[in-house]
Chain A
Amino acid sequence: MIELQHISKVFHRGQVNEVTALQQVDLQIAAGDFVVLVGANGSGKTTLLNLIAGAILPTEGKIFFNGEDVTTIPEHRRSRWVARVFQNPLGGTAPDLSILDNFRLAALRTQPKRPVIGINETFRREVRERIAQLGMGLENKLNQPMGALSGGQRQALTLLMSVMDHTDILLLDEPTAALDPRSAAVVMGTAQQIIQDLGLTAILITHNLRDSLQYGNRLLHMADGQIMRDVNAIAKQKLTLGEMYAWFGA
Chain B
Amino acid sequence: MTFYLTALLLGLCLGAMGLGIFITMKIFRIPDITTDGSYTLGATVTAVLILAGWPLPLVAGVVVIAGALAGVLTGLVHTRLRIDALLAGILVMTALYSVNLSLMGRSNIPLLGIPTVFKALTVFSNPIWNQVLVGGFFLAILGAILAYLLRTDFGIAMRATGNSESMTRALGINNDRMKIIGLAMANALTALSGFLVTQYQGFADINMGIGIVLVGLGSVLIGDALISWFSVRSIVLQLSLVVLGSVLFQLVLAVALSLGVNPNFLKLITSVFVLAIVGIPRLTRSRES
Contact = CB atoms under 8 A, between A and B. Distances in A.
Contacts of B174: 74, 76
B163 A116 contact: no
Looking at chain A's contact residues, the main secondary structure is: loop
Interface stretch (B129-137, B165-173, B243-251, B273-281): B165-173
A53 B170 contact: yes
26 contacts: A76-B173, A86-B170, A91-B166, A91-B167, A92-B164, A92-B167, A92-B170, A94-B163, A94-B164, A94-B167, A96-B163, A97-B159, A97-B160, A102-B160, A105-B156, A105-B167, A108-B157, A108-B172, A113-B154, A113-B156, A114-B152, A114-B153, A115-B152, A116-B153, A117-B148, A143-B233
Interface of A: 53, 55, 74-77, 79-80, 82-84, 86, 90-97, 101-102, 104-106, 108-111, 113-119, 143
Nearest to B166: A91
Given A80-B172, A109-B171, A97 B163 contact: yes
Contact of B170 (A79, A95, A97, A116): A79
Looking at chain B's contact residues, the main secondary structure is: helix
Given A105-B157, A113-B156, A95 B169 contact: no
Contacts of B190: none
B153 A79 contact: no
Contacts of A53: 170
Contact of A93 (B151, B156, B164): B164
B198 interface: no
A48 B246 CA distance: 50
Contacts of B168: 76, 94, 105
Interface string B151-195: 111111101100110111111111100000000000000000000
B169 A55 contact: yes
B157 A75 contact: no
A121 to B, nearest CB: 15
Contacts of A106: 171
B154 A84 contact: no
B149 interface: yes
Contacts of B159: 94, 96-97, 101
Given A91-B166, A97-B160, A101-B160, A110 B154 contact: no
